[in-house]
Amino acid sequence: MLESWRWYGPLDRIGLEEIAQTGAHGIVTALHEVPYGEVWTREAIAARKGLIASSRLDLAWNVVESLPVHERIKRGEGDLSSLFANYRQSLANLAAEGITTICYNFMPLLDWTRTELESPVAGGGTCLRFEAVHICALDLFMLEREGAEDDHPPELRARARAWFEASDKAARDRLTHAIMAGLPGAYDRYDIPALRAALTLYEGIDADALRANYARFLKEVVPVAQELGMRLCVHPDDPPRDILGLPRIVSDEDDIAWILDCLPVPENGLTLCSGSLGANPQNDVPAIAARFAERIHFAHLRNVAKDPDGSFEEAAHLAGDTDMVALVAVLLAEERRRRDQGRRDAQIPFRPDHGHALLSDLGRDTHPGYPLIGRMRGLAELRGVIKALSHENVGWG
């Protein structure tokens, strides 16, 4: 497996020299400064690629995360021909620079969503947390979304009201800030009125409508990926549940099967995110990985610990509710299968996803969920699992 590291480019407070010291060689990045829907020019791609390579640190841009899908495409709104053309041109420009693995998502409006960015963990440090009571309070009492009561059980609604009535403006502002933190790079953030207005644009779009728009997207771009020798790999919803009235359609095994069957070709693939899928109590992540192994082109390895009310938080990479050793074993077995077929692309790139903020991470103000020390700890733990599972002589003596 190819050790990789997410880097936000010039926006990132973690430098390439520091990344090199983690032992990772692949860089997962994007042109976050380019507005959604515009073409990634070959010149801009080459400049970012050159910036990474010129470091002389044995680093290379190996995965794009993400080439974003415009919200109008997700909504199926108006004449989309220019947006599809721009997406295809960006793919062509990336392929011309030798970057052929493209992670993207089809989450409406919001990317990964958390309600707390600095939740304390045992022994010190902090983690990202999704608190069901807080998202319920936001939905019912801050956004005052019509129909929100039907999406939350009575006991949770009562707890949310109690939190809201006891909260002050600072607490509510922190919650709004945390929700917005999942939007990548230099992207517009919303206050409550703006978020309320943005949500209205999705009124009338249910899961079936969103699937139809997604199928159209795939049919518009996957054939070009086939021509270019690229791999598109969708990222699961995070969290894997409807949120704020927005439908989510990449949340479980059945969703993934529908997507991969929509265009059953290798170029229509999956980013296996163990944390996103692991937040759904119904998901057996190693089993999902085994079922779709041949279509996994990229992996995010992290872990979560879930609560009965739907809350969850980022756990240490080898802790939490997902059997990470079993999951890595599935990915290594798939790599062996690919090597046996003589494939040159047998190696699966992976990155240690969201880590705890530890030691000198605290107060450094890196992108939420993307500290240096916490992710390096995760990478070291995963490296040990991979090494142990790959060792031919499992016995001693």
pLDDT, the chain, mean: 95
pLDDT of 391: 85
Task: For residue 194, tell me if it sits in a domain.
Answer: yes
pLDDT at residue 396 is higher than 80: no
- Of 3, 2, 1, 6, nearest to 64 (Cα)? 6
Domain edge (last residue) among 152, 167, 200: 200
Residues 259 and 147 in one domain: no
pLDDT of 266: 96
Residue, of 1 and 189, whose pLDDT is higher:
1
Task: For residue 134, tell me if it sits in a domain.
Answer: yes
132 neighbors 311 (Cβ within 8 angstroms) = yes
Which structural domain range is residue 167 located in? 116-200
Angle CA 312–314–315, to nearest 5: 110
pLDDT of 159: 98
pLDDT at residue 185 is higher than 80: no
pLDDT at residue 315 is higher than 80: yes
**What average pLDDT does the segment 224-241 reach?**
97
Question: What band does 20 get if pLDDT is binned at 50, 70 and 90?
Answer: very high
pLDDT of 181: 84
pLDDT at residue 222 is higher than 60: yes
Residues 104 and 126 in one domain: no
Partners of 224 in beta bridges: none
How many CB atoms sit inside 10 A of residue 6's CB?
26
Q: How many domains does the chain have?
A: 2
Q: Find the CATH number of the domain harbouring 250.
A: 3.20.20.150
Task: For residue 313, tell me if it sits in a domain.
Answer: no
Nearest-10 Cα torsion for 351, 276, 68, 185: -70
pLDDT of 1: 96
Question: What band does 397 get if pLDDT is binned at 50, 70 and 90?
Answer: very low
- Of 318, 259, 329, 258, nearest to 290 (Cα)? 329
pLDDT of 383: 98
- Of 280, 295, 311, 305, nearest to 356 (Cα)? 305
Catalytic residues: 235, 273, 300, 353-354, 370
Beta strands in the chain (DSSP E): 2-6, 26-29, 60-65, 101-104, 116-120, 126-130, 231-234, 268-273, 296-301, 303-306, 312-315, 349-352
Residues 183 and 223 in one domain: no
